[in-house]
Structure 1
């Protein structure tokens, strides 16, 4: 292999070792778990192309002998002969690492081309060559994503911007902040003696977080007190709430914004609260998944299982042996077969689609809205040596009735695309015409995402279009829940003929 001889400085052995470990981890994991065998040459070219973001004069050229040459500002920054074997993981990892390291040491890139920035540009661009959902998260982004999934050490307060630093605008009553006597309206001016005036709110939020049980010292300004107040609070595990409950007449509206570690538990709590509020007067549930981009697979499965007595919830299929999974419901319906409507739109994705399709196919819920996003894949999360993460697509999901959720998503029983009249829209959906819910669902369930023409036709049946006025989805949900006859008709339309 040729290598560049233009590097201005010999690489630090520690840097070279870290980069070797990092590249080996990425190339090995991607090759092992991605749903399709990766094209390592394309993956590497994609990564090297990503370095172009540092300098517009950056240029990657590959000659007929497969020699890669990178120039910056007309000067050679790196040069190397690509591996002969298109599938040799170690060779491609070493080649990519050598090229990136040589470019780094050439001194031709801007000063902000740090080690972490190189990983950011290279791996972000390389992962995009695999599919639209595989991605790289740098250490900062990965920490934020872990916090959303699994929780973080905090004190249970929400902050808003304020010239003094940050103002408390919400407290969780059962968390340490409230127990320590903090009040809504208190202004935090220092965290662990560090003054925070002028800091971005996301930076302040990160300072508030830390290991569970570790203390945090806050300096507060409170209206009515003559001077600052110093308070020390112990952190506890905080899992962001994704479930929001309210009542609409005798119906419970449960909005789910995402699926994290406690989503299914909080759905159960919301239903319990609705029963406590209305007793036997509770006549239906509306589960709003609009704008829900997904989250944890296990929570999507557990959430569906809350409502199903038996049967398949979803099936996952991929290339890696561990990607093949079957998820089935266990006995017990937390809502005792209470009539249920699910609302979806074009921003309902992934875990939200698993929940919607499972309850629709089993005839347990009526799905209202517009076709969901079609993210019928799952990404396995790989921890990296630099504390970043890889999200690698490794399986596709199948609904209980056997159709793949990928690309075309979930077809609603009642399509509200561009609708302006709730009654007319409901009549059409539950009718027998060519645009009825039954006709649309039949076409969707037999369509293949691999058939481009067929997929385009399905996507045109119920696109994500704005409503002319008001919340038509919610209005239709209420109409359905107020009529036992409409409930029966709508559930019959949505129930899959086979497989559920």
Structure 2
């Protein structure tokens, strides 16, 4: 992390030296969005320093800063920024507004200060920028900065970042879902073992007031902000319930709420866990459901299906913990990056909570990132049969840089390497049983794979060559099992059929035998 006092002092010094250049600018008119050069410089510098330090490839500060400044044109197309020799020139509608000396190529503080100066000048020259919120300026700048990096590196403003953090880390709340009907929130779901459930809130309750304040006509965002709050604080709801003699007043204490990411079904001793994403509670939730199923069914539990179809991923460490729930030893995944803290080898050391029972993993073309880590680890460690289509192939890891404005930059900083040594990025996970293009017929799908097992084994062997870095070569490999979105029951039926026939399951598991050296 950068030490802000040092560069902030430099930034203020530069501001004084540029006083003559800034002299023509006027103060903002009353009612205009406030713009603090010191705060803006702090935000720009924090972002630029984080990117320079942590991005997976080395970047030139002057180049990415210049692209960020050019991004102001997204707010007003009449604004253009060019470089002439050693100077940066701001032009509005053909008129030169400002000309400043360009800082050194790696001068984070200098480029942050210059960006703030040009942003301030642009706001004076452009009605569009003058009326724009400062968050819009940050967004335009960082979108420009990140535009030439990779598609997974992105900026989120303060409000969006707050939502992102709630999805990842949870939030203080009461554990309900609701819809707006006739201007007030109507409870559509009550999460079990959370404050609302314990206080007696019921589905279809109409919440009319929070802490005595009426909700009718408020936006969803405003309502959620009123219901949510710091954990261990009290919230008072006034509720209308069908059949009740009058409004109910219910008080409860807010708790740390995690969005549910694991959905459970069980039939004939087969536990199916559908993973929607990976947040801070995913591994704990899976472990709990496995333990409960074992306690409930005993020897009647016959197998486990992890359905990560459509799962876009989430937290890296949660995917490692999920794989560790089913592995007792060996590598789970490795990460390789430029920053020292981005280089890791994650090893299994847990207890197999499925106790050696058959495990099937369902994937499709929308299974990405953390979902691919789990699928690749369990396949390469000979612990699961993967069923479906080639996964998405998002084999990069992002770190989150929180900025002084409470926005955040999600930045790519490492690549994922499967236990057998292949890079997941651009390739994904190749199922042992491919269902691309199939609509029905579990028996037929299994029979076709087994009849052509040599073809599947060859594809899996070629897939695991670490040196496959050419995009065309990766795309050609992926065509052996084209990536598709799968929503039907075929993959689940194949999984059930394999669990029903242990000999068939063993044969399917052996399809990935070319990875034997990675497992042992």
TM-score band, normalised by shorter chain: over 0.9
**Separation in structure 2 between the aligned mates of residue 479 and residue 165 of structure 1, nearest angstrom:** 48
Q: Please report how far the alpha carbon of residue 72 of structure 1 lies from its aligned counterpart in structure 2 after TM superposition.
A: 3.8
Change over 3 Å in CA distance of 1:361–1:205 after alignment to 2 = same
Q: Please report how far the alpha carbon of residue 77 of structure 1 lies from its aligned counterpart in structure 2 after TM superposition.
A: 4.6
Query: Given that residues 243 and 257 in structure 1 are in contact (C-alpha distance below 8 angstroms), is that contact kept between their aligned partners in structure 2?
Result: yes
Query: Given that residues 263 and 275 in structure 2 are in contact (C-alpha distance below 8 angstroms), is that contact kept between their aligned partners in structure 1?
Result: yes
Correspondences of 1:126-165 after superposition (within 5 Å): 126-165=145-184
Q: Please report how far the alpha carbon of residue 417 of structure 1 lies from its aligned counterpart in structure 2 after TM superposition.
A: 0.9
Q: Secondary structure of the equivalent of 2:120?
A: helix
**Separation in structure 2 between the aligned mates of residue 181 and residue 383 of structure 1, nearest angstrom:** 38
Matched, 1:429 2:464: no
Matched, 1:272 2:291: yes
Query: Given that residues 124 and 130 in structure 2 are in contact (C-alpha distance below 8 angstroms), is that contact kept between their aligned partners in structure 1?
Result: no
Query: Given that residues 315 and 397 in structure 1 are in contact (C-alpha distance below 8 angstroms), is that contact kept between their aligned partners in structure 2?
Result: yes
Query: Given that residues 7 and 103 in structure 1 are in contact (C-alpha distance below 8 angstroms), is that contact kept between their aligned partners in structure 2?
Result: no
**Separation in structure 2 between the aligned mates of residue 410 and residue 203 of structure 1, nearest angstrom:** 42
**Separation in structure 1 between the aligned mates of residue 221 and residue 316 of structure 2, nearest angstrom:** 27
Correspondences of 1:62-461 after superposition (within 5 Å): 62-65=82-85, 67-83=87-103, 85-420=104-439, 421-432=441-452, 436-446=455-465, 448=467, 450-461=469-480
Q: Secondary structure of the equivalent of 2:128?
A: coil
Matched, 1:52 2:52: no
- Residue number in structure 1 paired with 2:4: none
Q: Secondary structure of the equivalent of 1:393?
A: strand
**Separation in structure 1 between the aligned mates of residue 74 and residue 248 of structure 2, nearest angstrom:** 47
Query: Given that residues 176 and 233 in structure 1 are in contact (C-alpha distance below 8 angstroms), is that contact kept between their aligned partners in structure 2?
Result: yes
**Separation in structure 1 between the aligned mates of residue 415 and residue 107 of structure 2, nearest angstrom:** 26
- Residue number in structure 2 paired with 1:36: 57
Show CA shifts across 1:127-183 (max 9, x none): 232211111121111111111111111111111121141011222342222333322
Match of 1:20 among 27, 35, 41: 41
Change over 3 Å in CA distance of 1:385–1:110 after alignment to 2 = closer
Instruction: Give TM-score, length-normalised by structure 2.
Output: 0.89
Instruction: Give the number of the structure whose residues are more often helix, by fraction.
Output: 2
Change over 3 Å in CA distance of 1:257–1:248 after alignment to 2 = same
**Separation in structure 2 between the aligned mates of residue 45 and residue 109 of structure 1, nearest angstrom:** 21
Change over 3 Å in CA distance of 1:433–1:333 after alignment to 2 = closer
Q: Please report how far the alpha carbon of residue 33 of structure 1 lies from its aligned counterpart in structure 2 after TM superposition.
A: 0.8
**Separation in structure 2 between the aligned mates of residue 223 and residue 76 of structure 1, nearest angstrom:** 67
**Separation in structure 2 between the aligned mates of residue 399 and residue 173 of structure 1, nearest angstrom:** 37
Query: Given that residues 316 and 325 in structure 1 are in contact (C-alpha distance below 8 angstroms), is that contact kept between their aligned partners in structure 2?
Result: yes
**Separation in structure 2 between the aligned mates of residue 8 and residue 457 of structure 1, nearest angstrom:** 60
- Residue number in structure 1 paired with 2:5: none
Q: Please report how far the alpha carbon of residue 101 of structure 1 lies from its aligned counterpart in structure 2 after TM superposition.
A: 2.6
Q: Please report how far the alpha carbon of residue 226 of structure 1 lies from its aligned counterpart in structure 2 after TM superposition.
A: 4.9
Q: Secondary structure of the equivalent of 1:299?
A: helix
Query: Given that residues 71 and 141 in structure 2 are in contact (C-alpha distance below 8 angstroms), is that contact kept between their aligned partners in structure 1?
Result: yes
Show CA shifts across 1:354-380 (max 9, x none): 111000001100001111111111111
Q: Secondary structure of the equivalent of 2:243?
A: coil
- Residue number in structure 1 paired with 2:507: 489
State which drifts further: 443-452 or 397-406: 443-452
Q: Which runs of 5+ in 2 are unaligned?
A: 1-16
Query: Given that residues 183 and 218 in structure 2 are in contact (C-alpha distance below 8 angstroms), is that contact kept between their aligned partners in structure 1?
Result: no
**Separation in structure 2 between the aligned mates of residue 65 and residue 379 of structure 1, nearest angstrom:** 36
Q: Which runs of 5+ in 1 are unaligned?
A: none
Q: Secondary structure of the equivalent of 1:337?
A: coil
State which drifts further: 91-100 or 115-124: 91-100
Q: Please report how far the alpha carbon of residue 79 of structure 1 lies from its aligned counterpart in structure 2 after TM superposition.
A: 3.7
- Residue number in structure 1 paired with 2:495: 477
Query: Given that residues 417 and 466 in structure 1 are in contact (C-alpha distance below 8 angstroms), is that contact kept between their aligned partners in structure 2?
Result: no
**Separation in structure 2 between the aligned mates of residue 389 and residue 487 of structure 1, nearest angstrom:** 45
Change over 3 Å in CA distance of 1:461–1:232 after alignment to 2 = same
C-alpha RMSD of the superposition = 2.5
